Amino acid sequence: MRILILFLAILICAGCKKTTRNYDNISGGHISVIGHGGSGFSYLINNYPPNSWSSVTRAIEYYGAEGSEIDIQMTRDTAIFMYHDQNLEISSSCIGCLYSYDSAALCDCIFKSVQGQIPGDHLTPLQEIITHFQSRSIKPMLFFDVHSNSECVDTKFEEGSYYFHEMNVLNRLFAAENCYGWVHIQSGVKGLITYVHNHCPQMQTLFDYCADSSDVDFAAANGCMGVAGNSSDMSADLVKYAHQKGLKVQLYGGQGKNGTVDALNKAPDYYLADDIELVQNILAY
């Protein structure tokens, strides 16, 4: 009898098949897992400084994320570096604003240790990470979150000039690397989005901090390929409205498993993950 029961169980399980849920988005039902600042900002599970070389490459090459969001800023000599915070002393061995450094000096700055890990990653020019992934047959999706240096500029006019100069530098970099198809710019600054639409139309943009239908309408009118927003700000209906406008949606900010499930149930096209494995496991069932 035991043998018969076991045999029947094997037959039943042979017909079982693990399925992946099909979400109602404009990416064929697939949600791409994108590392937040690389392998994430959740220091309880991540020992790699966000926006460091190790964090970004680990997200894609170890965890198998389909891409990474990367925070970027421009130096005094117009090099673009991967870094998040307004002040260097928050996360690195250097002090002051990144914009006040030239690239040679900035390369000597080292990220602070996370969770006791031995520091060692130097701040990295963006071009190096693009060149690194350029050799892959399947390119990752890289989302460059443009950060200002408002503490290093005196007026809104100077801040605007900084943004527009940075976009021209990035446009030249993307042209030189021939990477327009797999890199993206995201920003919540409307002037920047409009400038890119009018002057750098090859660049793919996402309008960030989307919170209502007027933001979606702005993105659609200014040539964006998508919108990005916190899951707490974007309802399922707003995600659907963006899809109806032909825009892809990137969500972030879901806290823990329940918050992540709630965000994924809104059917975005991309999800920024601080815990890449958690998101991958949720999507696998």
pTM: predicted TM-score of the whole model, two decimal places? 0.90
In a domain, 2, yes or no: no
What does pLDDT average to in each consecutive run of 10 residues of the chain (285 residues)?
A: 41 40 91 97 84 96 98 95 94 94 96 78 97 95 86 72 93 98 97 96 98 98 98 98 98 94 98 96 93
| SS3 readout for 14-69 | HCCCCCCCCCCCCCCCCCEEEEECCCCCCCCCCCCCCCCHHHHHHHHHCCCCCEEE
* Cβ-contact 199, 165 below 8 angstroms: no
Whether residue 238 is contained in a domain is answered as: yes
Residue 41 maps to a domain? yes
- Its domain, for residue 245, covers 21-283
Overall number of domains in the chain: 1
Q: Is residue 69 part of a domain?
A: yes
On whether residue 6 sits in a domain, the answer given is: no
Nearest to 182 by CA among 66, 266, 62, 10: 66
**Would you say residue 124 lies in a domain?**
yes
Domain CATH code at residue 173: 3.20.20.190
Residue 10 domain-assigned (yes or no): no
